[in-house]
Amino acid sequence: MMRDYDRILHILGAIDDALESTDGIRKEDFLENKDKLAAAERYIMIIGEAAHMVSGAMKADHPEVQWHKMVGLRNMIAHEYMRVDYAALWETVRGVLPKMRKQLSAIQSELPKP
């Protein structure tokens, strides 16, 4: 469980960074800013890698969290980087991650601190 606590902490940190990086900008500006695109990709990769390392028991206990999608998006960015749909990445960062942050914060609050 302590390992899961740390992994969730990493995910939450990357979510916060992704949201901060895109706060106050329009989708159109995001899509034209290669630094913002690269930062979003990096944060999604951290999220996906940490999600991959969360225990199977934690994933089974919390099927409401899109563990598989986080890992899949990370893999797509890492291995099929030419196919990244940046408009979809924007929607993930601005639409999916805030909900995921709430879910993971609730889970983390129930876990014993290491």
pLDDT at 40: 97
pLDDT digits (tens, 9 = 90+) for 62-110: 999 999 999 999 999 999 878 889 999 999 999 999 999 999 999 999 8
pLDDT digits (tens, 9 = 90+) for 3-18: 999 999 999 999 999 9
pLDDT for 24 beyond 80: yes
pLDDT for 114 beyond 80: no
pLDDT digits (tens, 9 = 90+) for 29-69: 999 999 999 999 999 999 999 999 999 999 999 999 999 99
Sequential DSSP letters for 53-103: HS-HHHHHH-TTS-HHHHHHHHHHHHH-GGG--HHHHHHIIIIIHHHHHHH
pLDDT at 57: 95
Start-to-end CA distance of the chain, whole Å, equals 9
pLDDT at 113: 79
pLDDT at 1: 54
Angle subtended at Cα 87 by Cα 106 and Cα 47, rounded to the nearest 5 degrees: 35
